A and B are shown apart, each in its own frame.
Chain A
Amino acid sequence: MALNRRSFLTFAAGGVAGTLFTPVIWKSIDDSAIWTQNWPWIPRLEYGPRAYAATTCKLCPAGCGLNIRTAGGRPVAAEGRTDHPLSQGGICPLGAAAVQLLYAPARIKGPMQKQADGSHQPISWDEAEALLQEKLAEQKGRKDAVVCVSGDENGTINELFSALLGGLGSDGCFLMPGEQLVASKILREGSIGYDLENADFVLAFGADMLDSWGTAVRNKKAYGAAHPVGEEASAEYVYVGPTQNVTGGAADQWIAITPGMEGVLALGIAYHLLQGGMSAPQAHDFFAYRNFVINRYTPDYVERLTGVAPEQVAELARKLRTANKPLIIPGSTIAQGGGVFSFAAALSLNMLFDNVNSVGGIQVLPDLPKVVEGAKAQAQIRAKDLVAYVQGVADGKVSKPGVYLVYEANPLFALPQPDVAAKAFDGSYLVSFSTFYDETAVQADLLLPTPTFIERFDDVQTPYGSGFASYSLTRPVIRQPIFDTKPTGDVLLGVAKALDIDLGYDSFDKVLEAKVAALSELEGFFTDKVQPWEARAGKVPAAASGNLWRNISRGSFWASIQEPFPTAMQLGSTIISQTAPPDAEDWTFPVSLAAMDSRTYGSRHIAIPPFCLPLLGEQEIQGDVFYVWMNSATARAYGLQAEDKVKLAGPNGSCLAKVRIFEGVGRNMVAAPLGFGHTAWDKFSRNKGDNIYKVLTVRTEPGSNLAVWADSRVRIAKA
């Protein structure tokens, strides 16, 4: 056979035919297609060992335990910890978004400085800290010239702020307002806790305990344990509040009441109890209290102010009396801005039942020992009224500070009447330590971003609402912080040193270690076997031993049920009578504004995360417009129908919204969600609805001089 053209072509033809009987063509096509799956710009899953890291949530003050699930060292999801008394396996929507927030576009990627044109330009940490030091040095020695606004209610970081400010000659260390401020007006030392788990009748005034008040996830667990599916409930829950919110909906009974009138109802109940012969001889002021209540809070008067029928009030009194362990929880629906009157009135019911430091009652909880020299006591910091201060500065009654330090707080969005805050901040040097580009950060002259709680060491001391004193830590569960951030504690220590103020530590981690070491001053235990409420009911826990730091920094939860000091029993008759609300109607602003909060809407310092947006129903927001809720009678009275546009106008600000008709709102009230209407943050959280804080109106409560706004009033009209 000669190799000629013809045989070659035949050979080739044979080759082609043969190829058809091999997988080459099909395999090549298939593999080329698969190859396209591996182009480098296609997002890839990260493989690697999966693990859990136990830590504590810092997105709101409730301090739940979280397990951060990691894959190959990279956080992928947050889950509730089953071994943590404040979460017991549960988590709220905001906590569930924790990992997503780690990667959120709203994060500030490094230190920045404001330019003349208002934009922010990146600078180095050295430059940024030098700038902070320079600005603080200018104010050193000038009285109250540096003010701190902290959004962290229960972190040790406040000790550093307060000590640094002290060193600079300032007393202006404020927390964002919350229930703990009101509570501190009643209890000057220690804080108030609620032993929910052991109570068999829970009467909550205002406090939206199953969604946004106090230790919300723990409260839900206590509620759930008392309401086993398919079985008889072991505790009855009654909710007194303006709306049938999550708590009102779940409670065995919901009683509609105008915000601010909770205390009147409480005293109306006290009237029946006292008439029924109840006494509290151990209270010094029992007779003054008795006279005041019996003379003033008669069934008729209470009905006129609250709209609650006398039989219903009497029935509540009967239920309380027949319960074994009744617990009365004071609070405001938005866990802020309530007055001393309602708080003290509800608390006095506990006192009548001699419910203080008893199983299933209210607890006086010790503050954990202070570790930073020169810092103010926690009780002193808690008791400072930021809103009153800001009003004073805006009105020119208090001199404007030179520098504001804002930490994990967003006062230019989340203080009532934020325009007043803006006025008070205007012209001062504003430093933001925020993780996110929030409304306050947008205005700041200097941004010193702090890492998220997933990237740093931090702590949570006894969250408000908890029934026991506790301590837990957050820790970095990611190898490398995602952005060029620096823990604020370290920044403060560095700048203090440069200013010759000795705070006694080199790093924030050391401060936390000292705090943990100081816990041994109290009788504490780890909650692996015995839960604090079981301990209170008589189980004996093993005292915490071993290396405390090692255990706590790996996620152990430290608790104490030690009673801090004997409390002198007082029913608070003086303060209750001084702060009692006037019984005149306000006809200029005839409708009560019942603001609503929910962890679905974020928290005081976190905007609605994109993760939570799908949770909002179409009756909560559509496009950019959000809804306010009212019952059909109220809507009719103002000529409104579902889906109508409505304007809510308070004395200082107004909002636009659409109407949702919902019978779970009391009469002559309009309910509106807080946390909408962000103008900063990222494209996911921005421009959704309107900011109800603009409509909340601050008044001063007579007798306590506390700034209050939970009972704001508005005019409503079709827009």
Chain B
Amino acid sequence: MMEEKKGGTSAGGVVLPFLLGFVAALAFGWWGVPQLLFSKKTQPLVFTHQNHIELYGMSCDDCHSFRRDGSFSGLPDNAKCAECHSFPMGDHPDEIKFVEEYYEKGIEVPWLVYQYQPDNVFFSHAAHREYDCATAGCHPDVGSSNELPVYYENRLTKYSRDTMKMKDCERCHATVAAQEPERFAGAPNACQTCHK
């Protein structure tokens, strides 16, 4: 009897709780923790890349350009936006908000940057300009999107969730440097290549 009872309950009595625990942990680990770890932030203004590109024929370079010294200007500042939007061009509330709350008051729009590099890294866009930003996997491809992605901020580290990981840099450096060692002699995986 004892044996049988044991054996009889072992299938349902052990496997099921184990499975339940297993699944609960998976759910918690894959879904719950990210919810807890990242706070969601939205950009201060809505912005559509798609309209700018498709309706107005602009290119990435028009705003995200390289300066004459080769440094990358990153996000456009108010002055750049005001080249067109120094007064509202339409009636979208955010457009009015840009003009009245930011441009006219001389306050730069506090855009959230998905991809700031940590302080201990030196990164030059100029050296990477041959790579397509989106397909190389460094950036979210916002170029054709109608809205800006949600910004996830890691509550612990305060970094954006989309901050590139060192392994991503390393992987690419290892492959390109290995493929064309002569052309990419400056891109080995030595620490000082990227770190200050």
- Which one of A22-30, A254-262, A295-303 contacts B? A22-30
User: In the complex where A1-B12, A7-B13, A21-B29 touch, is A14 in contact with B159 (Cβ < 8 A)?
Assistant: no
Interface flag for B174 (CB, 8 Å): no
A-facing mask of B10-23, CB < 8 A → 1, else 0?
A: 00111011111111
In the bound complex, residues from chain B placing their C-beta under 8 Å from that of A45 are 119
B-facing mask of A1-28, CB < 8 A → 1, else 0?
A: 1000011101111111111011110010
A-facing mask of B72-93, CB < 8 A → 1, else 0?
A: 0000010000000000000000
B-facing mask of A31-63, CB < 8 A → 1, else 0?
A: 110110110000011010110000000000000
Query: How far does the alpha carbon of A24 sit from the alpha carbon of B156 in the complex, in Å?
Result: 14
Interface residues on B, range: 20 to 34
- Contact call A49/B77, Cβ cutoff below 8 A: yes
Chain B: minimal CB distance from A194 (Å)? 33
Chain B: minimal CB distance from A664 (Å)? 37
- Contact call B25/A16, Cβ cutoff below 8 A: yes
Query: How far does the alpha carbon of A655 sit from the alpha carbon of B29 in the complex, in Å?
Result: 74
Query: How far does the alpha carbon of A35 sit from the alpha carbon of B156 in the complex, in Å?
Result: 6
| Residue from A7, A14, A27, A47 with most neighbouring chain B CB atoms (10 Å) | A14
Chain B, residue nearest A4 (CB): B13
In the bound complex, residues from chain A placing their C-beta under 8 Å from that of B133 are none
Query: How far does the alpha carbon of A35 sit from the alpha carbon of B71 in the complex, in Å?
Result: 29
- Contact call A17/B22, Cβ cutoff below 8 A: yes
Chain A, residue nearest B30 (CB): A22
A-facing mask of B111-154, CB < 8 A → 1, else 0?
A: 00000101110000000000000000000000000000000001
- Contact call B20/A11, Cβ cutoff below 8 A: yes
Interface flag for B105 (CB, 8 Å): no
In the bound complex, residues from chain A placing their C-beta under 8 Å from that of B23 are 14, 18
- Contact call B29/A50, Cβ cutoff below 8 A: no
- Contact call B14/A10, Cβ cutoff below 8 A: yes
- Contact call B157/A12, Cβ cutoff below 8 A: no
Chain A: minimal CB distance from B161 (Å)? 11
- Contact call A31/B156, Cβ cutoff below 8 A: yes
User: In the complex where A18-B23, A22-B28 touch, is A31 in contact with B157 (Cβ < 8 A)?
Assistant: yes
Q: Quick one: which of B18, B29, B118 contacts A19, CB cutoff 8 A?
A: B29
Query: How far does the alpha carbon of A27 sit from the alpha carbon of B71 in the complex, in Å?
Result: 33
Chain A, residue nearest B196 (CB): A45
Chain A, residue nearest B117 (CB): A45
In the bound complex, residues from chain B placing their C-beta under 8 Å from that of A16 are 21, 25
Chain B, residue nearest A12 (CB): B21
In the bound complex, residues from chain B placing their C-beta under 8 Å from that of A34 are 118, 154, 156-157, 159
Chain B, residue nearest A9 (CB): B17
Interface flag for B46 (CB, 8 Å): no
- Contact call A14/B22, Cβ cutoff below 8 A: yes
Query: How far does the alpha carbon of A11 sit from the alpha carbon of B37 in the complex, in Å?
Result: 25
- Contact call B17/A18, Cβ cutoff below 8 A: no
- Contact call A18/B24, Cβ cutoff below 8 A: yes
- Contact call B157/A11, Cβ cutoff below 8 A: no
Query: How far does the alpha carbon of A34 sit from the alpha carbon of B163 in the complex, in Å?
Result: 12
Q: Enumerate B1-53 residues with CB–CB distance to A below 8 Å.
A: 12-14, 16-26, 28-30, 33, 37
In the bound complex, residues from chain A placing their C-beta under 8 Å from that of B100 are none
Chain B: minimal CB distance from A39 (Å)? 11
Query: How far does the alpha carbon of A45 sit from the alpha carbon of B25 in the complex, in Å?
Result: 39
Interface residues of A, dominant DSSP: helix
- Contact call B33/A13, Cβ cutoff below 8 A: no
User: In the complex where A37-B119, A49-B77 touch, is A22 in contact with B26 (Cβ < 8 A)?
Assistant: yes
| Residue from B13, B22, B30, B108 with most neighbouring chain A CB atoms (10 Å) | B22
Query: How far does the alpha carbon of A353 sit from the alpha carbon of B126 in the complex, in Å?
Result: 54
- Contact call A7/B156, Cβ cutoff below 8 A: no
Chain B, residue nearest A50 (CB): B71
User: In the complex where A18-B24, A19-B29 touch, is A10 in contact with B119 (Cβ < 8 A)?
Assistant: no
User: In the complex where A10-B21, A35-B156, A37-B157 touch, is A24 in contact with B29 (Cβ < 8 A)?
Assistant: yes
User: In the complex where A18-B26, A18-B29 touch, is A11 in contact with B18 (Cβ < 8 A)?
Assistant: yes
Q: Quick one: which of B12, B20, B28, B116 contacts A14, CB cutoff 8 A?
A: B20
User: In the complex where A6-B13, A45-B119, A49-B77 touch, is A18 in contact with B157 (Cβ < 8 A)?
Assistant: no
Interface flag for B183 (CB, 8 Å): no
In the bound complex, residues from chain B placing their C-beta under 8 Å from that of A50 are 71
Query: How far does the alpha carbon of A158 sit from the alpha carbon of B82 in the complex, in Å?
Result: 46
Chain A: minimal CB distance from B30 (Å)? 5
Chain B, residue nearest A7 (CB): B17
In the bound complex, residues from chain B placing their C-beta under 8 Å from that of A47 are 116
In the bound complex, residues from chain B placing their C-beta under 8 Å from that of A35 are 156-157
Chain B: minimal CB distance from A62 (Å)? 25
Chain A, residue nearest B159 (CB): A34
| Residue from B13, B18, B71, B118 with most neighbouring chain A CB atoms (10 Å) | B18
Query: How far does the alpha carbon of A408 sit from the alpha carbon of B24 in the complex, in Å?
Result: 73
Chain B: minimal CB distance from A482 (Å)? 22
Query: How far does the alpha carbon of A45 sit from the alpha carbon of B119 in the complex, in Å?
Result: 6
In the bound complex, residues from chain B placing their C-beta under 8 Å from that of A12 are 21
- Contact call A17/B13, Cβ cutoff below 8 A: no
- Contact call B18/A14, Cβ cutoff below 8 A: yes
In the bound complex, residues from chain B placing their C-beta under 8 Å from that of A7 are 13-14, 16-17
- Contact call B33/A27, Cβ cutoff below 8 A: yes
B-facing mask of A666-694, CB < 8 A → 1, else 0?
A: 00000000000000000000000000000
Chain B: minimal CB distance from A71 (Å)? 11
- Contact call B108/A49, Cβ cutoff below 8 A: yes
Query: Can you report 24 A-B residue pairs in the complex whose CB atoms are below 8 A from each other?
Result: A1-B12, A7-B13, A7-B17, A10-B14, A14-B22, A14-B24, A14-B25, A15-B21, A17-B18, A17-B22, A17-B25, A18-B23, A18-B26, A21-B29, A24-B28, A27-B33, A27-B37, A34-B156, A34-B157, A37-B157, A38-B157, A45-B119, A47-B116, A49-B108
Give 10 new A-B contacts, CB below 8 A, not counting A17-B22, A22-B33. A6-B13, A14-B17, A14-B20, A16-B21, A22-B25, A32-B156, A34-B157, A35-B157, A37-B119, A49-B108
Binding site for A on B (CB under 8 A): 12-14, 16-26, 28-30, 33, 37, 71, 77, 108, 116, 118-120, 154, 156-159
Q: List the 9 closest pairs (A to B, CB-CB), nearest first.
A: A22-B29, A14-B21, A18-B25, A14-B18, A15-B21, A18-B22, A11-B17, A14-B22, A11-B21
